[in-house]
Structure 1
Amino acid sequence: MNTVLHVISDRNRRRLPLVDALVEAAKGGADVIQIREKKAPASETYTQVKQLQQHLATNGLAARVYVNDRTDIAIATDMDGVHLAAKSLPIETVKALRGRANWHGRIGCSVHHIDEAVQAEKDGADYVTFGHVFASESHPDIPPRGLYALRRIVEALSIPVIAIGGIDHTNVGAVLDTGCSGIAVIGAILDTTDPRGAAEELKAAMARADAHPKVPF
């Protein structure tokens, strides 16, 4: 199985202390942990990233660590990647910063329409996240975009596409059948008292799907 599981942090949707929950998710098989702190000061996010990196290393866990929006923190902590949102720096600017800093992290970005996805690839994104695929607590007032839209984007791009939004062990097989490179989740893992078990269950469902991504992540 070449599809990957991303777990995105949300301090408002977790049952355990956040770093503990993320480490447990990594123990359960999460491939990428993304720290997303939209309102926290840089120093707080920096400290959180360092704590997570230390705990992962101490436990011998191979999960890669990304940060949402904060390219400065990604470079300062030598993270595996940065994920850009609509209000983040442009992809081209982050690529330039990456080169000047001699940093080798990957650059991803969120997209919601096929035109955005195609433009992101042209601008130099290493991957995109598309959603929300199904109804999601994160966007309760916006209709889901569905599997057909996801498949169109997968077919249009030559970089990895990660699906997000309302995905869990019951529907992940249908998502992976589109040829996407993996999934990203929040509540399916963090909004439980057993993030490790939830991650293991989701990874097992992904394995049963026996999917073959168009582009491995």
Structure 2
Amino acid sequence: MRAVLHVISDRQRKPVPLLDVLTQAAEGGADVIQIREKKAPAIETYQLCTSLKEKLSQMDRTPQLFVNDRVDVAMAVCADGVHLASRSLPPGVVKTVTKQSSWHGLVGVSVHSVEEAKLAAAAGVDYVTFGHIFASESHQGEPPRGLLALERVVGAVDIPVIAIGGIDVHNVGPVLDTGCSGVAVIGAVLHHANPRYATERLKEEMDKARTKPRFAFPVGTVNAIGEFL
């Protein structure tokens, strides 16, 4: 059982060429590419997703494609999952919608405490993302929650926990020692001059982890009618 690497897009922090950067991250071994376009119109997010899916389909090893917040876009492009934030639809509502539709992608949610993680797990989500673990550009001025808080969340829920926030090749080892199921990064890949190399280096360090994940991150591909292959 190996920890997984999520690479998250952020057009504000890497304006152009975002598609090329994400493609390189996939080539470098990213397990999940998450499209997070908070301020973009739905059509632009849809177009980015479809363009990236075309790129990914040409690879021997295809990472999962997730869409942040936009359940409609995730369903429209038949993504492998959707990731919910605090201002997204409630996870319980999204799980109900997916059960009633032909799309059965994974549903994850961002949490910031043990209590929030437990509520998300009770709502039936497939995984949670917890952070920020270290100081992060995405949360300037906010104190990091740290490894002990991450370890508590990992032990509190019976679903995979993905760590996020300030994680890079220098500190990913101690993060994985908590038993989390993987890490999510933005700057560690998007800010690097060679995103493919940055992703490969992260994966190399992750493979050195001494602790196995408490839970394996779910994998699978959703086909055109929403079934896992």
TM-score range, shorter chain: over 0.9
Q: Mapping of 1:1-217 within 5 angstroms?
A: 1-14=1-14, 17-217=17-217
Q: Which moved more, 1:53-62 or 1:166-175?
A: 53-62
How big is the shift at 1:102? 1.6
Structure 2: how far apart are the matches of 1:188 and 1:205? 13
Structure 2: how far apart are the matches of 1:154 and 1:138? 22
Conservation of the 8 A alpha-carbon contact between 2:2 and 2:207: no
SS of residue matched to 1:209: coil
Provide, for residues 105-147 of structure 1, a one-character-per-residue CA deviation record: whole Å limited to 9, x for no partner: 0000000011000100001111000000000000011100000
* TM-score normalised over the length of structure 1: 0.97
Conservation of the 8 A alpha-carbon contact between 1:134 and 1:166: yes
How big is the shift at 1:13? 2.1
Runs of 4+ in 1 over 4 A off after TM superposition: none
Provide, for residues 124-178 of structure 1, a one-character-per-residue CA deviation record: whole Å limited to 9, x for no partner: 1110000000000000111000000000000001000000000000100000000
How big is the shift at 1:92? 1.3
Q: % of aligned pairs identical?
A: 58
How big is the shift at 1:209? 1.7
Conservation of the 8 A alpha-carbon contact between 1:42 and 1:73: yes
How big is the shift at 1:60? 3.1
The one-letter code sitting in structure 1 at the alignment partner of 2:50 is K
SS of residue matched to 2:139: coil
Structure 2: how far apart are the matches of 1:210 and 1:155? 17
How big is the shift at 1:210? 3.5
Unpaired segments ≥5 residues, structure 2: 218-229
Unpaired segments ≥5 residues, structure 1: none
* TM-score normalised over the length of structure 2: 0.92
Q: Which moved more, 1:60-69 or 1:40-49?
A: 60-69
SS of residue matched to 2:34: strand
SS of residue matched to 1:162: strand
| Structure 1 vs Structure 2 CA RMSD | 1.1
Q: How many residues align?
A: 217
